Structure formats: C-alpha cells, structure tokens
Amino acid sequence: MLRPLLDGRPYLPWTEGAIRPAALVAVLNEITFAERREIVELGSGISSIVVGRLLAERGGKLTAVEHDPEWAQIVRSQIVRERLGDVIEVIVAPLEPHAASWLGAPWYSSEAVALLPVSISLLMVDGPPGYGEGMSHSRYPAMPALADRIPAGGMVFLDDAGREPEREIVARWSEEFTDWSFGIDVARGIALGTRSV
C-alpha cells in the first residue's frame, strides 16, 4: 500500500517526528477499503503528502492543522511541487489555552478549528507536540473539540500511543466517549477509535 505512493515520487525526508510507516499504512488502508474521504490531520508533514497522493487517485480531501508557520510553509511548498492543492489544505493554527485542556496544555486556536469540515470520516491526531514543557496530554482536546463532527462509523487515529501520556488520553477518551470503542496497536504505536454505528 505504501510503496506505490513513494516509488517514483518526489523524495520525502522521514523525520523522527513523522508517523511510523506501519501506522501510515493503517491510515491508507482505512482510506482505501473503508472509503474515508473527508480527513482531518492534527499536525502536518510526510503523512499529509502521502495521504494527499492517495486522495488524488481515489478522491477526497485532507485538511491539516499545523501550529508551526515555518513547518506549514515547508509542507505547503511540497503540496505545490506535487500539484496536490486540490486535495490538501494546511491551516496554520497557533496554540492557545483550551476549555478542554488537560494539565493546562495548549491546543489549536478556536478560529482555526472553526474552519475544519463539519463532517470528518477520519481524524488523525499527530499534534500538537506531546512532549516538552507543558505539552504533556496536549492531544486530549481532539475528541472533546471534534467528536461531534465524526459520524457513526467514523474513526480516530492517535499517533505515539506508546507514550504514557497518550495511553492516559486513550483511557480518558474511553471513559468519556461511551459511543466509541478504543484500542491501542502497540506494534504500530497508534491508538484507534471507532464510533458505534
């Protein structure tokens, strides 16, 4: 699934912050076999480009939210180089206090979140950064802020689920969102959640 989206295409520098290839394959499988077409990614990067390449072939749209304007510009430049502007949009969203914050960690600005699609079939949570001072549990607000936009059968992926804060986020989501089923795929380092049909 992944190789055809990499071979013969412009080089993408895999960084230590990028989603693991095995986790990205899980996302690509969902897009392909569950026909998920309205995708939101919190955090942007290599995964945005690879998912965009697949959506350009199969139809759909990816809206990525990025807190770092310089990184957003790098991703946007790649989007332009690959002519993926019809399928990928990058929204720059500064981090700010959020009503659903856990331990005071900031989250994306409400103005940026208001620009996201009203219906999301797949939510990829790989941002904000979940490490560094004051950033522990920073990804928790994703569900409180966006769960009502995900219809029955919709899915959420949480990256870096091997880290303790992310496992705690999944446990809390499981308690608070009772119409969802969550599990952790240890080998891929992701947590998956599906809204009950």
**What does residue 42 show for φ and ψ, rounded to 5 degrees?**
-95, 115
- The lowest-confidence range among 33-37, 85-89, 145-149 is 33-37
pLDDT at residue 18, as a whole number = 78
CATH architecture of 3-195: 3-Layer(aba) Sandwich (3.40)
| Cα pseudo-dihedral 180, 39, 108, 131, rounded to 10 | 70
CB-count burial class (<10 Å; 0-12, 13-18, 19+) for 80: exposed
Q: How far apart are the first and last CA of the chain?
A: 27
Consecutive H or E run containing 83: none
Of residues 197 and 162, more confidently modeled: 162
- Count CB-CB contacts under 10 A for residue 49: 22
118 DSSP assignment: S
Residues 6+ apart with CB under 8 A from 4: none
Q: pLDDT grade, residue 91 (50/70/90)?
A: very high
Dump pLDDT digits (tens) for 150-183: 999 999 999 999 899 999 999 999 999 999 999 9
Domain ranges of the chain: 3-195
Dump pLDDT digits (tens) for 123-138: 999 999 988 888 989 9
Does residue 49 have a pLDDT over 80? yes
